[in-house]
Structures are given as C-alpha cells and as structure tokens.
Amino acid sequence: MACLYLLSSGFGAGAQFRKYSNEFLNIGAGARGLAMGGAQLASVADGTAGYWNPAGLARVKERPMLHLMHADYFAGIGKYDYAALALPTTSPGRTLGLSLLRFAIDDIPNTLYLVEPDGTINYNNIRTFSSADYALLLSYARESGSREGLLFRYGVNAKLIHRSVGSFAKAWGFGLDGGVQLEWGAWQAGAVVRDVTTTFNAWRYTFSEREREVLYLTRNDIPVKSNELTAPRLLLGVSRRLQMGERFTLAPEVAIDLTFDGPRNVPLQMGALSADPRLGIEFSYQRALFFRAGIAQFQQALRDGDTLQLDKVWIYQPSLGVGFQMRQVVVDYAFTNLANQSNPLYTHVFSLRIAFGGRRKQT
C-alpha cells in the first residue's frame, strides 16, 4: 500500500539515526549551484548561501537579495520549490537570511480500501493524498575585518522542518548548521557542519477506526509516535579565481561531502567514514554572461549486461548551466540530475535573483 510504504521510514519506538533522514535537504538550491555539481561552499556569495554555506551571506552587503527557484522531480511527479531572502543590516559585515524549501509529491493513491470486506476489488474506493516536506532556515552571517589580506566569515543556520504524509503522519524537527569561509587573494575556502547537534524529527500518526481495522486485518503495524535523528556531516571546499585579461574570469571549485554514519556508495570509504567529491567550474564574461559545468554523484554500478556483479565501473552525473545578469537581475539555468541515483533523471532548472532597493549604508 502506497501510504504504508511512505510511513514505514518513521517506525520505531525510540529515536534512531536514519542514514537518509531529511534527504530533501540535500537536493540543492539555485541553478548556479546545481549546474556546478553542488561545489559551492567556498565561492557562494549570494542569497543561496543560506543553503550552501551560511557564512557566504556576509558577502551580501549593499542591497537585499531575493532568490526564487522551481524544478520538477521525477519527470514532473514531484515539485521542488525554493525561495531565499538575504538582508544586509546597518552593522558592518552582518547579514540576515531567510530560506524556505518545499518538496512535495501529490496525488498518491491510497489503496487502504481497495479491497472490500467480501474480497472484491473496488477501484472507486481509491483516494489520493499528498506527501510534502518543508524546511525554514533562519541565518545569520558576519564578516570580520581583513588581517594581512585574509578575510574570515562565519554563519549559522537554525532550521525548522515540517513533514506531512496526508492525514496519516506529521513530523516536526529542529537542527543547526554552522559554516565558515576564508578568502585570501584569489583563493577561497569554505567548511560547513550540517546538523551539528543532530537534527531531531518527532513523528505523530493519526488513523481513523476504520483505517486501524484495515491495518490490523492486513497484519501491518499501527504506529503511534516515533523519533528519528539526522547525523552530522562535514562539507569542505576550495576555489580559485583566475583572471584572464580584463573581461574573462575562470573559477574552478572542488568540494567533498564527509558522512560518518556508515559505508555509502561513494569513491572513498573508511569504516563509518564516506567521502563524496564534487567538481564545478564557472566561466564568466564581464561578470554578465556565465557558463558553468559540474560533476557529482560518483557511484559504483554494474557494467551494462553484467548480471553476475563481477564487473563494476564508476559512474558520475555531469551538469551544465548558463547565467545572464542585467543590472540587478540575474537569470540562471541548469540542466542536471536531481534524482541522485544511478538511473539519471535530468531536468531543467531555472532560478531568478533580484537585488532591490537602494544601497544599504553600513555604519
């Protein structure tokens, strides 16, 4: 049954770590970052920093900045929406951020009442429901003064999570992220600890008497409440700006995602530690026209036609994108795989960035 499958991840009486808990928070945000394979920790300098690295918000200093993004997931079955607002304050080098993410799948068949008590199948009894995940990120970032040419920025996120599966289950969660950025000449480095205190989700389940009866007769567990924890992860990145004449700039970036919750299908595994690399590059012309590319999601898979699992190869998912800036408006596009799996489901992603209002004076 569709609803039981979606609820199964929350079963359990006590709090337990889930390797892929709150996975919707790992999709990405903004077409620039998605086009570069998620390699954004060191170079992000706009409102999407609230997602990638909150320390980067400190680089939004003069005007409030709004970001909007929409993408279809699994060929239109799922919808992924993202909005972010960066607000520089009147205090030097201090910026506030607000980000909202929503990932939802609608029109999921509920087959609890598909079979009548007499054993006949009645398709008219099928109803639909939605499964939606929400995250609200409140961010604060600050930039310290330059010391011997070195700039230091730091930022924190407080995130509130709400997950809903029809009328059957709802969860609330809370977590913290912390990030830093270093800039020295043309070099940039970034580090983020996500879910630094572990993110806690508390699930509550609600079933009618009729639903309970069907679950009991079909020998399914009837959950009452459960808790799940999202383990911390460490992300590191480094980037360098290469000036090519007066008009052209090249900015490659390398990032690595470190998890500590057991082996994953990634290039580097050492006990409970897994390391997932990401590569990205951006080429710009007069800071108005941008071309981007990235490589991510390195996984080991069977070679085509091999059913004995004897010959495995490493695969990866490339991504491409472009961007255009005119005055205070930036339009970005990415062609990327949002599915995060070995069977790629590429989609078109558009995002809009607007800087509005007059220059904010920091005193």
pTM: 0.84
Tell me: the pLDDT tens digits for 314-337? 888 899 999 999 888 999 999 988
Question: What six digits make up the tokens of 64?
Answer: 């409030």
Are the CB atoms for 349 and 71 separated by under 8 Å?
Answer: yes
The DSSP annotation for 235-294 comes to EEEEEE-EEETTTEEEEEEEEEEEE-SS--SSSEEETTEEEEEEEEEEEEETTTEEEEEE
Tell me: the pLDDT tens digits for 205-220? 888 887 787 777 777 7
DSSP bridge partners of 219: none
Region 293-306: what's the mean pLDDT?
Answer: 78
Are the CB atoms for 133 and 81 separated by under 8 Å?
Answer: no
| Phi and psi at residue 47, to the nearest 5° | -65, -20
- Looking at the chain, the whole-number percentage of residues with pLDDT higher than 90 is 47
In this predicted model, which residue has the larger pLDDT, 4 or 292? 292
Region 190-204: what's the mean pLDDT?
Answer: 90
Summary mean pLDDT of the chain: 85
pLDDT band at 12 (very low <50, low <70, confident <90, very high): very low
Structural domains of the chain, with CATH = 2-355 (2.40.160.40)
Which range among 115-124, 172-181, 271-280 shows the weakest confidence by mean pLDDT? 115-124
